[in-house]
Structure 1
Amino acid sequence: MEDRKLTVRAVERALDILMCFTKHNELGLTEIAGMINLHKSTVHRLMTTLEEKGFVIRDAATEKYHLGMKVWELSTHLSQNDDPSVMLLPAMERLRDQLGETVSLYLRDGKDRIRIQAVQSNQAIRRVAQVGARLPLYVGASSKVLVAFAPLGEQQDLLNDPEWPDSIDRNGYMRQLKEITERGYATSLEEREPGAAAVSVPIVNRSGVVTAALSVSGPVSRLSMNTLHEFAPVLIEAAREMGLMIP
């Protein structure tokens, strides 16, 4: 029984290491050890195993690690029938061509949102959205959409979280959520990223459940608040059609 517990713990630690790469392209042993609060020697043993299995690759010149081809190989076997990032990609490309800006798809994961798909704008000056990016739920148009259409209990849990930034007034945030549910979309101007603007809407599946947030973003030089409001009806209709594709 003790050996089984140790084995499970080792798996947990290995997965914690891999999750470190959701926010960084490359990391050294010391950085990883600090991020997951483990001794450097323990991390080294785990990294050696992950490297042997092809999940990470070590750069001999920099002594830093990055994800290996095994991660990509696993991702290619995701079920396309159930994966929104695959199912909705053609519709996202059509929306990009219609509006001329970057289109992103987000899912909620605990206290974060994850960009699971993005179609980049074709314009020379554009906002590049990195797929796989993990972002906080308390700021940004798509974050506010995912929170606004979540159950009240989940909203309260987020607002009462010790990590909630003191700079964001909870009462004001709740008023924003109410406005978002009433009009059906959220906007943001340089809330999370200087020079960037976005508008986002919920995607409701055929069962009536909000499953994702659809967002269009770009530079504030092109996306004024008036433009964001003009884009909103187009996004709402696109999200409605996308929702019909999801069980």
Structure 2
Amino acid sequence: MEDNKLTVRAVERALDILLCFAEATELSLTEIAGKVGLHKSTVHRLLASLEGKGFILRDVSTEKYRLGFRLWELSANLSQTDDPGLLLLPEMERLRDLIGETVSLYVRDGKERVRIQAVQSNQAIRRVAPVGVRMPLYVGASSKVLVAFGEPAVVSDMLLDPDWPASLDRDLFVQQLQETKRLGYATSVEEREPGAAAVSAPIVNRAGRLIAALAVSGPSNRLTLETMQEQAPLIMEAAKRMGTMMK
């Protein structure tokens, strides 16, 4: 009987730890222990168990904890919609607040990409991204992602396309696709329009299928290549988290 009580108490304590993240993105061991009112040694053991099951992630560089991907896998079953534009909107807003730039979601439609969702930056000078806009797959960070991580036939169809712009180098495009696959993300600086830059990462569902391209865009004088390279891990992590929410 005593063992059952201890087991229930351990579960309640573990749930209390998870609930600490309802109002915080990252917390240290000391902060969590203070919130749940337990000794740090006890909290550390519980965190280790939660981390082992994927409910908690630990940043080895900061020694802080945050929610793990397993929770997003469970949350995917809460929604009955298959619309990524609706399902992923809260995560897009979270990324916008973290990075401070406009966040967009693109899907491929034939030889074009379509922006199906956007969360605008709150900054005075920003990249405005209207939903529903269509753009060619030949240029732009999201285009590279949608082609590089899409089905192999997409690449061959594009390279053989009679409408391929004469001003664009096919060999250079192939090199960019290879680099995108190697890095796991793509960047663009004034490729499609002057003064604009973007960085994009693939959203792949739990079955391994490409769902969409997640992009962060802004003025090129603020969103420099160096800045985009620094932000890329955050964007890829957000894209991976979103992928666990998609069936």
Shorter-chain TM-score category?
Answer: 0.5 to 0.7
Match of 2:112 in 1: 112
Give the match for residue 49 of structure 1.
none
Output the amino acid matched with 1:198: A
Given residue 94 of structure 2, which amino acid in structure 1 is its aligned partner?
A: R
Alignment match, 1:190? 190
Number of aligned positions between the proteins = 169
- Secondary structure of residue in 2 paired with 1:163: coil
Deviation readout 1:179-227 (Å, 9 max, x if unpaired): 1001100000000011000000000001111110000000011111000
Kindly state the Cα deviation for residue 150 of structure 1 after the two structures are TM-superposed.
1.8
Q: Shift of the alpha carbon at 1:152?
A: 2.2
Give the equivalent residue in structure 2 for 1:143. 143
Calculate the TM-score normalised by the size of structure 2: 0.67
1:129 is matched with 129
Q: How does 1:41-190 map to 2 (within 5 A)?
A: 81-190=81-190
- CA–CA separation in structure 2 for the residues paired with 1:205 and 1:177: 20
CA contact (8 A) 1:104 1:129 kept: yes
Check whether the contact 1:80–1:86 (CA below 8 A) recurs between aligned residues: no
User: What does 1:197-208 correspond to in 2, within 5 Å?
Assistant: 197-208=197-208
For 1:221, the equivalent position in structure 2 comes to 221
After TM superposition, the score normalised by the length of structure 1 is: 0.67
SS at 2:177's partner residue?
helix
CA distance in 1, matches of 2:80, 2:103: 20
The one-letter code of the counterpart of 1:166 is: A
Do the aligned partners of 1:204 and 1:211 also contact (CA within 8 Å) in 2?
yes
Q: Distance in 2 between matches of 1:235 and 1:183?
A: 12
What is the distance in 1 between the residues matched to 2:228 and 2:104?
15
Q: 1:90 to 1:128 in 2, by over 3 A?
A: same
* Identical counterparts, % of pairs: 66
Q: Look up the SS of the partner of 2:203 in the other structure.
A: strand
Q: Give the Cα separation in 1 of the matches to 2:223 and 2:183.
A: 19
Letter in 2 for 1:135: M
**Unpaired stretches in structure 2, ≥5 consecutive residues:** 1-78
In the TM superposition, what are the counterparts of 1:9-48 in structure 2 within 5 Å? Answer: none
Q: Is the CA contact (8 Å cut-off) linking 1:92 and 1:103 kept in structure 2?
A: yes
What is the CA-CA distance between 1:80 and the residue it aligns to?
Answer: 6.5
The AA in structure 2 aligned to 1:152 is P
Q: Which amino acid aligns with 1:106?
A: Y
On the 8 A contact 1:80/1:87 being kept in 2, the answer is: no
Whether the aligned pair in 2 keeps the contact of 1:120 and 1:129 (CA below 8 Å) is yes
Partner of 1:36: none
Give CA-to-partner distance per residue, 1:102-124, whole Å, 9 cap, x none.
00000000000000000000000
